[in-house]
Amino acid sequence: MSSTIQVEAARIPDRDKLLELLIEHGLDARPNGEMGIEVLCADESGPASDEVFSEVSGMILSIGAPFVPIKHEGVVYVRPPVG
């Protein structure tokens, strides 16, 4: 049984770059809406939401902006830091 994990970026260019990086890292990622990405994951053989969160966290630096990934209710949000 497979499910999806939603990733939401703060800006369209960031979404596009993150989508490209997720695909390069072998994840089944597709654009979803204006700033969203849907990552397909399988319960047994595919990435779990924690793995996707880890992947996104590691890719943030390559986007070139100070963004912070936040996981909330099954969605990974990529937002500027608060403060």
**DSSP letter string, 10-73:** SSHHHHHHHHHHHHHTT-EEEEETTTEEEEEEESSSS--HHHHHHHHHHHHHHHTS--EEEEET
pTM: 0.71
Structure tokens at 13: 């260019």
Q: Are strands 75-79 and 2-9 parallel, antiparallel or unpaired?
A: parallel
With tokens 């990934």, the residue in question is 69
The stretch 16-33 carries a mean pLDDT of: 89
Dist CA 33 CA 28 (whole Å): 16
Q: What is the mean pLDDT of residues 10-18?
A: 86
